[in-house]
Every structure is written in structure tokens, then in C-alpha cells.
Chains A and B, each alone.
Chain A
Amino acid sequence: MLSIRGLHAGVEGKEILRGIDLEVRAGEVHAVMGPNGSGKSTLAQVLAGHPAFAVTQGEVTYEGRNLLEMPPEERAREGLFLAFQYPVEIPGVANAQFLKAAVNEIRAHRGLEELDAMEFLDLLKEKFALVEMDPSFMSRAVNEGFSGGEKKRNEILQMALLEPRLAILDETDSGLDIDALRIVAGGINRLRRPDNAIILVTHYQRMLDYITPDRVHVLSGGRIVKSGGKALALTLEAKGYDWLEEKVEVSAEESAKVSAKVSAKVSAKVSAKVSE
């Protein structure tokens, strides 16, 4: 479904991704982990087509097409979905109005008729129940004044409405308390199908307690430094990212300083958590 080869990308002349290779097939769940600054969110944004990032090398094929040539809205219409780490607030636009516009754009692209107001409301109620969101969030302005957890639920709600083929969830677990995490993860699990795929971008493995990945990748210094099964996530939880980053220092000297700084912070956090 998605094939990334030798992807280099950056922002304002600063290279962040330094050669990513990743294969995702239908029905799979991939976890992309790594410390802050490793390029996880950049990878997610580049795949969704954020104009601030420039791809300098490599290729990305999605469903047999060159993804990098598609504008962001076409990627979305073709079934690619990014759940934002920081969902954007849109004052003055009711959540339901926004969701209806998105659903109808994507339905139109799939050759389906627009939903009328009643049909859309029924669909909306069903999906609100899935992510256990209060219906009052239909009429509130998009993400405006939502708590962190409410914003994340609103992202999963959109995923449920838009039924993507490939969903990229960018740190959807961050900022969630344990109840919200359970609800969000439950929603995601119910959206798993044999014909779609999910990339979970996450810092911690706790989301993987709820969603079992088929593959786990560790991103560091803009490259995937290790891939494995679910066990890898548990190893990371126990040992932090340090033991992997030493390898990076050998293979990519120029990135060592940055990642070493970052990893010091991260490992401190992780070890603090482990010792709790």
C-alpha cells in the first residue's frame, strides 16, 4: 500500500529525514517510535503533504501512485488520513459543518452522492458514540477551546467518518489520560480492517498496550535505526532509546550531537517512568 524509499526531507534548508525506507501493506499496523526530534512528526507531515516541508530525495508510492506528486487534498481523497499531533482550531466554523464538508468531498471523489442533513446527522451520531464524544461538540467551533484529549478524540472521529485506507496517527496518545487513551485506542481498533493500514507515530509504548502493532520501527536522527516485532517496543520501554542511538553515532556522525542531546532528555523521562 505504501512504499517509502530513501526519503530525505527537511524544512528551510535543514534536513530532518535522512533516508527513510518503509513498506506498509494492507491490514498492517506499524508503530514508528523514537525520541523527540528524531523526525517522526516530520515523516507524518511529509506523507500528508504539508507545504512547509521539502522532499529533497527519495520516493513514496501509495497504492501504486507517486504520492509526492499529489496535492494534500488529493491524498486525503485517495484515502490517506493524518491525525494531527496538534489539531488546528477553526473559530467560527461548527464542527459538524467542517465534518460534513470533509465527508462530502471524499464521498464525491468516490463517486458517492452527498449525504443530506439527516443522513449526515445519523452518521455523525454513530461516530460520536464510537469515540464517546458528547454531541455538544457537533455545534462547537472546530477544536476551539477543546482540551488536549477532546482534540485527539475529534481526530479519531474524523478518521471514523472518512474511513481512510491509510491512517497516520501522529502522537495521538500524547496528552491523554488513561481513560481517554482507552477510548481513543478502542476507536482505532474498531477501525482496523484487512484492507486498511495504520501507522502509529508515538513516543511511548503505552498505546501499544491497546493496539498491537505488526511491526515496530525506531526512528533516530532522521533514519529508521531498528525494526522488529511488538517485543521491540517493550525493549524500548525498558531500556530507553540510548542503546540504539549509539549505533547512530557510528553510522551518521553529523546527527549524533542533536540526537545525543535529545536522547539524554528522553532517557531520563523514560527511566523515571520505569522506576515509578
Chain B
Amino acid sequence: MTAGTTKETFVSAFRALEAGGNLGGPPWLRDLRWKAIARFAERGLPTPRDEEWKYTSIAPIAAVQFDLEAAGGAEGADDGLTEEAIAPFCVSPAWSRLVLVDGRYSAKLSAIRPLSRARIESLAEALIIDAEMLRPHLIRSAPAEATDAFAALNAAFWRDGALIHLPAGARVAEPIHLLFIATAAGPARIDHPRSLVVLERESRATLIESYITLAGDAPRLTNATTDIVVGPGAELDRYTLQLEDESAFHVGRVHVRQARESRVESCAVTFGGRLVRNEVRARLEAETAACTLNGLFVIGGRQHVDTHTVVDHVAPGATSRQLYKGILDGRARGVFSGRVIVRPGANGTDAHQTNKNLLLSDEVEVDSKPQLEIFADDVKCSHGAADGQLAADAVFYLKSRGLDEEAARTLLTFGFANEVLARIRVEPLRARLETLLTARLRGGRVANGEPREPAGLGLRHPESP
């Protein structure tokens, strides 16, 4: 067996691409790329022996022979796509959207509304015209990339992504929507989208990131990095939608740094993907920062969803809240690892974490690992975890009102998930996700592996082949 993708194939592909000038960027960025691939070469791909990857085997990813030299997306990847094709995923045509197709910015499909001083553009283009602005941010994320092989791969191979920049005091009411669309035509590919979100002092934005598969059956890995810097008094609401198809691999990470009196509220909703791993690292670097991380996954079949959160209380008096819920059916597998660190001196920290999972089948498995590491005094930290089935009393209550078994179970399952969706502040997005959830829950089960869904409701577009 020679099939598969190994550490050596990644390294030699990088050398070939770099030597051919295909990855681009100024010398300092090329230097970062080389350092990243060197770190990757030291570490290699993660194995279950790595504590951070104990419950998630990447063997299904490593078994695929990816065409690594195609990494980053080809010119004209969006040729076959029209606005109509992506319309069902845009939620609202009024929102500014930045569209990446197979990892490459699509000017044709993007629609940037004039927003008060906010900058929304392709990161690759920003690099050409304004590299010095990006430089400190990209250099600053390098240490985080040293700890994880996929983060290092993104740092080495990335070509494009989004830049969102809000200057001080800029407050943008309308959501900004980033759509990462995979068309998966041709060979098995890996995209490494990289995004940078900078909110300067007292600015405010709402950001939605949607990961979508539009066509094709070729294996795909999306290896995404998003860096978010939230300045003093700035506020960010952020939503991530995982709507890729059920053959997609997705490994993503978000690094958030929060300044004094900043507020970040994040909600990650995962319906799609065959193997999905998401990491969120939030560093509360100054006093009274507030961070809320919510998440919901609804999975069936053989889907595997792994969520890793690290909330790092560096400064005193900051608040963090986490609510992660999962619904598993079929032979699905869920992992939640939630780590809260309270550094020495971070007194008065208030941190709370909840993880609840609803198990709809006997063959599902959930590994939940909360970790509190407290090195400060006078802190309020708590965590709770619960896995279970639907309550028999609740099922009977609904039946006594005329609902049959399936309708009762569907409504209760919906309610379990809706506790997370109800917290979404963008009403059209909340309504859309409620519709998607309803379509996904049928007969009290998680509908899974079905090739077609109603237009705009499903994980795949109905016109896709």
C-alpha cells in the first residue's frame, strides 16, 4: 500500500510549491512558512498517543492520497458557480459576504456592501497591498501553531482567506458572512483557509462563517485557521456553521485574544462533515473581558465531531461561559474537551462550563473531558457534564396531548438543541438554523446520509450532481 498522505509527502509538496513560488508572500511570510513546516516535520501528524488527539483518530484523513500540489485552490474554481447556486446559504442577500471557493477568493460571488469604515477583503489581496499591517498579527500567532500539526500545516500552506478589520469605534450592525465553499471537483484536495479578524477599540461586529460543500464526491479536507483580536471595549458576535457534506474532513482552529472590557460571544453549529475537529482558544488578556462559547452538534451515521476549547484566564476579573450540547444518533461519535485555565493573579475569575449530550442510539459514543486548572484565588469556576436519553415523563406528557411517539421525540430533541440556537442574536440566522434542524430531525431520529434535501434546507444543494 502506497496510498495515503504522510508527513514526508506534506514536506516534499511544500518544498515543491515554495520552490515554484506558488505560495507567495513577502520574505518574512516565507520565513514563517518554512518555520511552520519545520515544526510540522518535527511533530508529524497526530496519533491517538497525543493526549490532545486521544479520542479522534485522523487515520481516515491520512489514508487519503491528497493532491497536495493543488493545495490552495486553482484560478477559476468558481467558474461553474452562480449567485443562484449559493443563494440558499447566504441567509440574507442584504449582508456583506466574502466567498472563498476551494480556498480562493471569488470576487464574482462576493458582495461587499459599503460598511462604515469596515474593511472586508481577501487576505491574499491584503497581503499584496498592506503586508505590514498583517505582519505583527501573523507573527504573533506563530507560537500557537507550534503546538499542533494541522495548525503548522495551515501556517505553511495557506494562500487565502478573509481579512476583517474594524477601526476604532466602527460599529457594524449587519452581519458579515464568510462562505467557505468546497466544490470538490477533481482530485482529493486540502484547503488551508486563513482568516484574520481585528476589532480595534470600541468597535463592534457580527461575523458568520459557513463551511459548505456544493458538489462533488472527491475527499476533501478543510484545514482552517482564524485569528481574532478584540480590542478594548470591542464586541464580537460570531457564528460558525458546519454544513459540509458527510464525506468532508474538517480541522479548524480559532484563536481569540481579548482586551479589557471586550465581549466575545461565539456559537458553533455542526450538522455536516464526516470527521470534524474544532478548536477554540480564547485568551482573556485583560480585566473584565467576557467570553461566551456555545456549540451544538447534531450528528448521525458515522459522523465524528470533536470540540476542543481552551479558555485562558490571564487577567483578573474576566468572565467566561460555555454551553456545548450534542445530539448523536446512528454510530456517531462526539468528543468534548473543555479546558479552563486560571493563571496566577487572575483573581476574581468567573468561569462556567456545561456539556450535555443526548444519545439517541445505543451505538453512539461520547467522550467528555472537562479540565479546570486553577492557579489563582477567589475564583468562581464550575463545570457540569451530562449524557442521557430523552426523559420518559416528557415523552408521556406530549403523548397525553395527542403527539405520537415520533412527534414527541422529535419535539423533545428539537427542544434540547434549541436551547443553544435560542441564544443566537441574529434572528434570520436563528430562524434558518431552526429550519435546518427541523429538516434534520425526522421521526425522532437524526436524518443522515440522505442524498437529497429540500432546497436551501439541506447540507447539499439540490442541483449538485
Contact A88 B394 (CB under 8 A): yes
A42 CB to nearest B CB, Å: 14
- Nearest neighbor of B421 in chain A, beta-carbon distance: A92
Given pairs A88-B393, A90-B411, 5 additional interface contacts (CB within 8 A): A73-B403, A76-B401, A88-B397, A92-B417, A109-B402
Contact B399 A72 (CB under 8 A): yes
* In the complex, chain B residues whose CB is within 8 Å of the CB of A52: 392
* In the complex, chain A residues whose CB is within 8 Å of the CB of B416: 91-92
Q: Which of B398, B402, B418 contacts A77 (CB 8 A)?
A: B402
Contact sample, A vs B, 18 pairs, CB 8 Å cutoff = A48-B400, A50-B396, A73-B400, A73-B403, A76-B399, A81-B400, A84-B397, A87-B397, A88-B391, A88-B397, A90-B394, A90-B398, A91-B415, A92-B414, A92-B415, A92-B417, A93-B412, A162-B402
A264 in contact (CB, < 8 A): no
Enumerate A34-61 residues with CB–CB distance to B below 8 Å.
Answer: 48-52
B373 in contact (CB, < 8 A): no
Q: Assuming the A-B contacts A88-B393, A91-B416, are A102 and B399 also in contact, with contact meaning beta carbons closer than 8 angstroms in the complex?
A: no
- Nearest neighbor of B397 in chain A, beta-carbon distance: A88
B132 in contact (CB, < 8 A): no
- Nearest neighbor of A86 in chain B, beta-carbon distance: B393
* In the complex, chain B residues whose CB is within 8 Å of the CB of A102: 398, 401-403
B323 CB to nearest A CB, Å: 12
- Cα A81 to Cα B400 in complex, Å, equals 7
- Fill in one digit per residue for B401-423: 1 if any A CB lies within 8 Å of its CB, else 0: 11111011001101111110010
A98 in contact (CB, < 8 A): yes
Contact B400 A72 (CB under 8 A): yes
Contact B415 A106 (CB under 8 A): no
* In the complex, chain B residues whose CB is within 8 Å of the CB of A88: 391, 393-394, 396-397
* In the complex, chain B residues whose CB is within 8 Å of the CB of A71: 399, 404
A158 in contact (CB, < 8 A): yes
Contact A90 B403 (CB under 8 A): no
- Cα A238 to Cα B404 in complex, Å, equals 45
- Nearest neighbor of A99 in chain B, beta-carbon distance: B401
A101 in contact (CB, < 8 A): yes
Residues of A at the B interface (CB closer than 8 Å) are 48-52, 71-73, 75-77, 81-82, 84, 87-88, 90-93, 97-98, 101-102, 105-106, 109, 141, 158, 162
Residues of B at the A interface (CB closer than 8 Å) are 391-394, 396-405, 407-408, 411-412, 414-419, 422
Contact B400 A76 (CB under 8 A): yes
Contact B400 A49 (CB under 8 A): yes
Q: Assuming the A-B contacts A73-B399, A88-B394, are A101 and B411 also in contact, with contact meaning beta carbons closer than 8 angstroms in the complex?
A: yes
Contact A90 B401 (CB under 8 A): no
* In the complex, chain A residues whose CB is within 8 Å of the CB of B391: 88
* In the complex, chain B residues whose CB is within 8 Å of the CB of A51: 392, 396
- Cα A51 to Cα B397 in complex, Å, equals 11
A163 CB to nearest B CB, Å: 12
Contact A93 B400 (CB under 8 A): no
B25 CB to nearest A CB, Å: 47
Of listed A48, A75, A77, A102, residue having the most chain B CB within 10 A: A102
- Cα A77 to Cα B415 in complex, Å, equals 23
Of listed A92, A93, A106, residue having the most chain B CB within 10 A: A92
A136 CB to nearest B CB, Å: 15
* In the complex, chain B residues whose CB is within 8 Å of the CB of A101: 398, 401, 403, 407, 411
- Cα A72 to Cα B408 in complex, Å, equals 12
- Cα A210 to Cα B403 in complex, Å, equals 32
Q: Assuming the A-B contacts A51-B392, A92-B417, A93-B415, are A106 and B400 also in contact, with contact meaning beta carbons closer than 8 angstroms in the complex?
A: no
A91 CB to nearest B CB, Å: 6
- Cα A48 to Cα B399 in complex, Å, equals 9
Q: Which of A72, A92, A97, A141 contacts B396 (CB 8 A)?
A: A72
- Cα A105 to Cα B399 in complex, Å, equals 10
B360 CB to nearest A CB, Å: 15
- Cα A73 to Cα B397 in complex, Å, equals 10
- Cα A243 to Cα B399 in complex, Å, equals 39
Q: Which 7 A-B pairs have the closest CB atoms?
A: A92-B415, A105-B402, A93-B415, A92-B418, A102-B401, A88-B397, A76-B402
B389 CB to nearest A CB, Å: 15
- Cα A49 to Cα B397 in complex, Å, equals 10
- Cα A105 to Cα B416 in complex, Å, equals 22
Q: Assuming the A-B contacts A76-B402, A92-B417, are A98 and B396 also in contact, with contact meaning beta carbons closer than 8 angstroms in the complex?
A: no
A8 CB to nearest B CB, Å: 21
A82 CB to nearest B CB, Å: 5
Q: Which of B397, B401, B414, B417 contacts A105 (CB 8 A)?
A: B401
- Cα A82 to Cα B402 in complex, Å, equals 11
- Cα A49 to Cα B404 in complex, Å, equals 13
- Cα A186 to Cα B404 in complex, Å, equals 31
Q: Which of B396, B399, B401, B415 contacts A158 (CB 8 A)?
A: B401
Of listed A52, A84, A101, residue having the most chain B CB within 10 A: A101
* In the complex, chain B residues whose CB is within 8 Å of the CB of A105: 401-404, 407
* In the complex, chain A residues whose CB is within 8 Å of the CB of B407: 101, 105
- Cα A92 to Cα B356 in complex, Å, equals 14
B15 CB to nearest A CB, Å: 52
B358 CB to nearest A CB, Å: 11
* In the complex, chain B residues whose CB is within 8 Å of the CB of A75: 400
* In the complex, chain A residues whose CB is within 8 Å of the CB of B397: 84, 87-88, 90
- Nearest neighbor of B394 in chain A, beta-carbon distance: A88
Q: Which of A84, A97, A106, A141 contacts B402 (CB 8 A)?
A: A106
* In the complex, chain A residues whose CB is within 8 Å of the CB of B401: 76, 98, 101-102, 105, 158, 162
- Cα A78 to Cα B419 in complex, Å, equals 33
* In the complex, chain B residues whose CB is within 8 Å of the CB of A82: 400
* In the complex, chain B residues whose CB is within 8 Å of the CB of A73: 399-400, 402-405, 408
